[in-house]
Structure 1
Amino acid sequence: MIRAKTILALLSLAAPAVAGDIPLAPPIDCTLGETCFIQNYVDRDPGPGAADFACGGLTYDGHKGTDFALPTEADMARGVSVLSVAPGTVKATRDGMPDIAMDRPGAPALDGRDCGNGVVVSHGEGWETQYCHLREGSVAVRKGMRVAKGTVLGQVGLSGRTEFPHVHLSVRRDGRVVDPFDPASGPATCGRAAAAPLWQNPLPYAPGGLVGAGFSTTVPGFDAVKAGLASPATLPAGAPALVLWAHAFGGRAGDAVAFEIDGPGGARIFEHRATLDRAQVRFFRAAGRRPPAGGWPDGAYRGTAQLMRGDEVLGQRTVTLRIGG
């Protein structure tokens, strides 16, 4: 069973406690933990290392915002709105940069445009927010426009310095980066109580998890998984193999992806455990088996993938298919 204390731990339970703080709504139209997830947080380590506000590893050195990510590029293609987190006035916009991940052929020179297509909103009293990596052609506001909390600013994209579809939200006051999960200045909490968050409703902290899983007849390529590889509903009895793959984030060295495949009647036909030898921000693993003599028996098949940290389940996905009639 997934331990709620980890996956759904609400590390902040109060409304903003300091006069003048700004209550924020999420910057993306999705369900956190289901159709989107937080890939990276503000780096709270003052030195060359990196630590998020909970002293976890979901950040990198010098990261100045919170990344709300989509599982796949297919999710991006369907269109997911980026929303203003608070009322304010649009200070600046940029559009027209292509949605090409920075690690792929054809990615444009950034020339200081690391944010890609983006919007900056001023909220008064020194507060401003910046929204980066929006989809080309999606920016829906212009400079000087008044926006309400929840106004659509654009859509999640792949522009600028990014390798996966997400919106990077930066929160600043008087030019200083503010971590909305723990707005107190200084390094990560590491045991002390976090300051009251800026979120109007608490957001869960997940130290890692699964964002997708599926069946295949071969080990897929990671590019296909990131693009949005679909799990088949049916396969023929002559399928050359039954492979279960899992797409995950926040992996640490020593974490493991556990695979189980059950055949007709619930009989266990395969299990495997793949251990990570290093930390990985986004990754996938796959495992499976060839058919028995005579081919796969007709019936329902169920695959379960889990991301494990010791004996704790950080995430789980279950998929099903039918073989034969």
Structure 2
Amino acid sequence: MLRAALISLLVPALPCMAGTISLQQPVDCTLGQNCYIQNYVDRDPSPGARDAGCGHLTYDGHKGTDFALPTIGAMQAGVDVLAAAPGTVKAIRDGEPDRAFVNGASVAGKECGNGILVEMGDGWETQYCHLRKGSVAVKPGDHVTAGETLGLVGQSGKAEFPHLHIGLRHDGKVIDPFDPDMTQTCAHDITRDELWSKPLAYVPSGLLQVGLADTPPSYAAIKSGIIPATTLPGDGPALVAWVYGFGMQAQDVVSLKINGPDGFHFAHDSQIAKPKALFFEFAGKKTPPGGWPAGEYRAQIALIRDGKVVNSGESHIKIN
């Protein structure tokens, strides 16, 4: 049985760990464009949670880094999981269904889902979890090189969204690749000693998709993956701006604005009461009598934290 992300150890401080190994990005995607980091290693030994950037992109006891895809559609299209470093495959698991946890099926003892354990020598090992069913491309005893394809990103095991959970351990102890020595104090120096061969930017929150529609899209449709409209009828029921993102913190403000022909302007701000790993917000205005004037409409959406815009996006549609 795969030695899974099941080991209940708190993250310890380890001296002189930085620079001993080098890791490549383990998913074949571009961070900030078609993938993002949803969760980091939990650095807080108490029941609370804190990531290496002094943020909240983690949860209590999380022991790895989650490279997430924005939609289920992206997972179904296929995104490669890559070996972060060379080593020998010690164990695998395949055949677990994707989305099992979300659908309420038991994953006890198989929280990692479809996974791969790779030993790198000198007590180092990497574990890859939640791969897509039937995609594991290696077997025990295989030697893998850095960048070699191991399988596909999936949503098997205890996974609420499509992602790769990669765990790094040394002599059985959890290591945070963003701060292996556990010496950093906040986000400004998070890349100082990280183990990634190409530094990965710490991004505490982001907008995954924005759009305009004539009715509010369902959250399920957004997570599955929809293509934002480029044209809309003038006599639809409403004009709605929507946003899908990650890393929302308590007291953040989501600002949604729509501008259009003849001086049309709509604005709505929502203040968030509690943190949300993933969020979906929308607001809009009912169609006026006679319909919307023809022309271009633009949605401007911003995530505001402590009075400053931390993320923003735009979407355009034409009404004929």
Normalized against structure 1, the TM-score is what?
A: 0.89
Structure 2: give runs of 5+ residues left out of the alignment.
1-15
Q: 2:311 aligns with which of 311, 315, 320?
A: 315
| Residue matched to 1:226 | 223
Instruction: Give the Å deviation of 1:92.
Output: 1.0
Contact residue 260 and residue 268 of structure 1 kept, 8 A: no
Structure 1: give runs of 5+ residues left out of the alignment.
1-16
User: Whole-Å Cα distance in 2 between the matches of residues 173 and 96 of structure 1?
Assistant: 28
Alignment of 1:171-210 (within 5 A): 171-185=168-182, 189-190=185-186, 196-210=193-207
Instruction: Give the Å deviation of 1:163.
Output: 0.6
Instruction: Give the Å deviation of 1:292.
Output: 2.5
| Residue matched to 1:78 | 77
1:101–1:208: structure 2 CA closer, same or farther, 3 Å change rule?
Answer: farther
| Residue matched to 2:35 | 36
| Residue matched to 1:151 | 148
SS of equivalent residue, structure 2 residue 301 = strand
User: Whole-Å Cα distance in 2 between the matches of residues 261 and 254 of structure 1?
Assistant: 23
User: Whole-Å Cα distance in 2 between the matches of residues 19 and 236 of structure 1?
Assistant: 57
User: Whole-Å Cα distance in 1 between the matches of residues 19 and 286 of structure 2?
Assistant: 62
Instruction: Report percent identity of matched pairs.
Output: 51
Contact residue 153 and residue 163 of structure 2 kept, 8 A: yes
Structure 2 letter corresponding to 1:196: D
Contact residue 248 and residue 307 of structure 1 kept, 8 A: no
Instruction: Give the Å deviation of 1:193.
Output: 5.6
Instruction: Identify which of structures 1 and 2 has the higher relative contact order when contacts are C-alpha pairs closer than 8 Å and 6+ apart.
Output: 1
1:31–1:208: structure 2 CA closer, same or farther, 3 Å change rule?
Answer: same
Normalized against structure 2, the TM-score is what?
A: 0.90
Runs of 4+ in 1 over 3 A off after TM superposition: 17-20, 190-195
Alignment of 1:231-270 (within 5 A): 231-264=228-261, 267-270=263-266
State the superposition RMSD in angstroms. Answer: 1.8
User: Whole-Å Cα distance in 2 between the matches of residues 35 and 100 of structure 1?
Assistant: 20
SS of equivalent residue, structure 1 residue 123 = strand
Q: 2:214 aligns with which of 183, 206, 217?
A: 217
- Higher mean Cα deviation, 189-198 or 171-180? 189-198
User: Whole-Å Cα distance in 2 between the matches of residues 192 and 310 of structure 1?
Assistant: 17
| Residue matched to 1:291 | 287
